[in-house]
A = this chain, B = another copy of it.
């Protein structure tokens, strides 16, 4: 079992930050992928894709898609990750799931499109959870956000591709003085049952 300091760092004391400074290096971004990639996904499908937005030009491309309350913190964050997924993730299954090279067939075809979209969203979001925890484990503060226009991000970054945006996440060194008070969590007996 992890010690208290580690559990505090990845869960109990970790917070969603609203103001960031510092720098996030390419080496840190690679280390982040090299942790989160090990998290399990359906048939090892790994549908998540990530665009790390760091340059001024790319930040300006992102800006029109942001809800007003998310503009300042995103424009000033060292890096903003676009957590996305590839709707054609299944093309890689023969390599990624060598136990059963026929697994790809379960996803091919017009009548499978809704199923494919569900599997992509489910598993890319699972990987989003791994991403947030892996960042925290590496000492990178996170600010995940759903407050943006997915269609505008897709147009600005993924036009003509099969990638689609899922959520955004600012990365950097969080400013503890800009945190909101922590909001309440559901109690075990509200969210869970043991049968």
Contacts and interface: CB of A to CB of B under 8 A. Distances in A.
Interface of A: 1-3, 6-7, 9-12, 14, 16, 26, 29-30, 33-40, 42-44, 46, 48-55, 57-58, 92, 95-99, 118-119, 121-123, 125-130, 132-134, 137-139, 142, 144, 146, 166-167, 180, 183-186, 188, 191-195
A46 B138 CA distance: 25
Contacts of A52: 192-195
User: What number of copies of this chain does the assembly contain?
Assistant: 2
Given A50-B193, A193-B51, A129 B125 contact: yes
A33 B130 contact: no
A51 B189 CA distance: 11
Please provide the 4 A-B residue pairs with the shortest distance between their CB atoms, ordered closest to farther. Answer: A129-B129, A125-B125, A58-B195, A37-B185
9 contacts: A11-B130, A38-B185, A39-B132, A49-B191, A96-B185, A98-B183, A98-B184, A122-B125, A129-B129
A179 to B, nearest CB: 12
A54 to B, nearest CB: 6
A16 B2 contact: no
A52 B142 CA distance: 30
A37 B1 CA distance: 18
B121 A44 contact: no
A44 to B, nearest CB: 4
B192 A44 contact: no
